[in-house]
Structure 1
Amino acid sequence: MPENWIVQLNSQLEKMEDPATEMELWEKRSIYRIPSQVTDANKEAYKPQVVSIGPYHHGEHHLRPMEAHKQRALLHFLKRSGKRVQFYVDALAKVLQDLKDAYDQLDIGWQEDEEAFLQLMLRDGCFILEIMQATLIGCDYAPNDPIFSAHGKLHIIPLLISDMLLLENQVPLLVLQKLFTGENENFKVG
């Protein structure tokens, strides 16, 4: 009779004896999947309509058009900061495991492809900062820009913000901290 499950259970029990181990497992998590029991009632209420932020909804067909705008935002961010992209990639790479650990049930593809995950964090993080910059301060985009113009601020950015508030459609705060403090070296967060 196979007793492998007994060995596994005993191993789990030993790990559980230390409350710090269990606490450590959960303290890094900050972005969770919503249980299907909740989303089944109204699936559309929990899905982004215009933009994907983070890995959970990345690549969904109806959200792909916004990817080009996120790439443009990344380029504007880099140009304004005056720093090379490698500067920001290195800053995020130093906390890569913390960024992955922030996601509950992160897909194995994102777990294994560090380059794609870092690229996603950089692009989406810069996009969020550009939305904040455009909304609060103003920006250096063309007056007829579809997202960052006065028209975009009135009609598109509210939809983007609505999507960015969804629980499954976020990046860890650590991404924004690393990018923001990298852009503004004299500014300290928290």
Structure 2
Amino acid sequence: MDPQTQQNAAENSHDPIPTSVVVDIHSLTSEDTDPKLLRESAGSESCCILRIPHSLARINLKAYEPKIVSIGPYHHGKEHLKMAQQHKRRFLKFLVAKMQEKGTNPQELINAVSTLEGDIRGSYSEDLGLESEELVEMMVLDGCFILTLFLVVSGKVVCTNLDDPIFRMPWILPSIRADLLLLENQ
């Protein structure tokens, strides 16, 4: 038999499936089919924070990675971004002092973010893998960091007692600005 005839015969063959390949179709269809990584809110109007598709990110991974500061859960805890966590705590301390000067209870920050936890989680396309306390702490620190940064840079708040290298080294602010604009750093 010529090679073409052998190929046609093989394609039209109805030989039984080899016994070494056993797949139970019922187990494939009966397992939980709800997405574990992709949230149900993905694709809805409320979900607006997505990861960069791998096909784009792999072209230049560093283009989508923050250099100085992580904001939000996608890059949270990465080793090269931990230095900024100290500054976030310093900025939070500064804001808490300002709140107390004005007679506002700083616990209101935690309470306000806690009540928004469901909305926060629904804004991300993926399961965040964070406990409630971790998420609320991260959002409070990140939010206060951004708020303090904007207030100081805009001149709305004078920080004579906030002697922070972020404001003394001219190259850091442009890098932070670039990090804040990254899609996955929200």
Instruction: State the TM-score, normalizing by the size of structure 2.
Output: 0.73
Partner of 1:18 in structure 2?
none
Q: 1:134 aligns with which of 152, 164, 183?
A: 152
Question: Aligned partners of 2:77, 2:97: CA distance in 1, in Å?
Answer: 26
Partner of 1:2 in structure 2?
26
- Residue 27 of structure 1 aligns to a residue in which SS? coil
Q: 2:47 aligns with which of 29, 32, 43?
A: 29
Question: Aligned partners of 2:112, 2:83: CA distance in 1, in Å?
Answer: 28
Question: Aligned partners of 1:47, 1:41: CA distance in 2, in Å?
Answer: 13
Verify the 8 A CA contact 1:30 1:103 in the aligned structure 2: yes
1:134 deviation in Å?
Answer: 1.1
Q: Which has the higher helix share?
A: 1
Structure with the bigger RCO (C-alpha within 8 Å, sep 6+) is: 2
- Residue 124 of structure 1 aligns to a residue in which SS? helix
Partner of 1:71 in structure 2?
89
Instruction: State the TM-score, normalizing by the size of structure 1.
Output: 0.72
- The structure with the larger Rg is 2
Partner of 2:64 in structure 1?
46
Q: 2:166 aligns with which of 124, 134, 147?
A: 147
The answer to whether the aligner puts 1:119 opposite 2:137 as a matched pair is yes
Letter in 2 for 1:66: A
CA RMSD of aligned residues (A): 2.5
Verify the 8 A CA contact 2:121 2:128 in the aligned structure 1: no
Question: Aligned partners of 1:101, 1:142: CA distance in 2, in Å?
Answer: 38
The sequence identity of aligned pairs, in percent, is 33
Q: Which runs of 5+ in 1 are unaligned?
A: 12-21, 171-190
Q: Deviations over 1:121-176 (max 9, x none)?
A: 0000000001100111243244752013xx34x32111111101000001xxxxxx
- Distance 1:63-1:23 versus aligned 2 partners, 3 A rule: closer
Q: Deviations over 1:30-85 (max 9, x none)?
A: 21111110011000000000111111001111000110001000111111122333
- Residue 113 of structure 2 aligns to a residue in which SS? helix
Partner of 2:120 in structure 1?
99
Question: Aligned partners of 1:7, 1:70: CA distance in 2, in Å?
Answer: 43
Letter in 1 for 2:126: Q
1:8 deviation in Å?
Answer: 7.6
Aligned residues: 153
